[in-house]
Chains A and B, each alone.
Chain A
Amino acid sequence: MRAGLRCADWREAVREAGKLLVATGAATDDYVDAIVRAVEELGPYIVLAPGIALAHARPEDGGVAVGFSLVTLAEPVEFGSEHNDPVDLVFAFASPDSEQHITALAALADFIESDDNLARIRAANDDEELYRVIQEAN
C-alpha cells in the first residue's frame, strides 16, 4: 500500500495500485493493463462508494495469487462515476480464480464500511502509518 500519492488521472491511480499487486507477485503486468481496459470498456462502476474505487481484472488476465493493494491519493481523481466521484482511495485485487479472493474481499468490504476506518486511512501520512492502520483493523 502507498499513502498520499499524486496521480494525474484515474489511469495513473489504477496503475499505481496494480503495480503493487505485481510487486508482491499477485499479478502480472498484463493484469494491470487489463484493469485499465476494463474500466474503459465497462465504465466507472468500480467506484463502488463515494471516494472509493475497487480495481480488478479477471483471473485469466494475469491473476497469479490472491493479493490486495491500496493507494491513497493526495488529490482525488475523477473516474466519471455518476454518484461517487471524486476518488481518493483506490483498492485493487487479484485472484487466481473466481473463488479464492471472496473471503478477503468480504473482509475488505466490512473494513471500508466503517467511516472510522476510512478516516484513519485518509489521515495516514506515509506508507508505514497506512500499513499500521490496516493491521490494527484486522
Chain B
Amino acid sequence: MIRVFAVCGMGLGTSAILKTRLRAALDATGVDYMLDVTDASAARGQQADLIFTSAELAEGLKGTSAKVVVVKNFMDREEINQKVKEAIEELQS
C-alpha cells in the first residue's frame, strides 16, 4: 500500500483538483494506494510515501520522509500521469 498526499496551502482548492487527477493517474499504474488531500502544515506531521505539490510549497516539505514531487501545471493530466508513473517506478525499484 502506497500512501499518497495531494498537498496545497489549505487543502481546499488546488489539492482538491490535484486529487481527482492523481486518482486517475494512480489507477492507471495498478498500484495499491491510499490518497488524501491535506494542507502543507498537516503534511509535515504525517507519514506518506509520496507527496504531490506545487513548486512553492515543496521547499517546506523537504524534512518529511516522503518523496516530494513538484507539479507545475495542475491542469495538465499528461504531466501528472508521467510524474506518477516515474514516482511509482522509483518506489518499487
Residues in chain A within 8 A of chain B (CB atoms) = 38, 41-46, 48-50, 52, 54, 56-59, 81-84, 93, 95, 98, 101-102, 105-106, 109, 112-113
Contact = CB atoms under 8 A, between A and B. Distances in A.
Contacts of B9: 38, 41-43, 45-46
| A-B residue pairs, 6 tightest by C-beta | A42-B9, A43-B56, A45-B54, A48-B74, A45-B56, A49-B75
Contact of B72 (A44, A57, A84): A84
B64 interface: no
Interface residues of B, number: 23
Contact of B17 (A41, A48, A83): A48
Given A45-B56, A45-B57, A48-B54, A56 B75 contact: no
A50 B73 CA distance: 7
B72 to A, nearest CB: 4
B20 interface: yes
B17 A98 contact: no
* Chain A contact surface mostly: mixed
Nearest to A98: B12
A58 B55 contact: no
Nearest to A54: B13
B42 interface: no
Contacts of B81: none
A46 B75 CA distance: 12
12 contacts: A38-B9, A42-B56, A43-B9, A43-B56, A43-B57, A45-B14, A48-B73, A48-B74, A48-B75, A59-B12, A105-B17, A113-B75
B8 interface: yes
A105 B73 contact: no
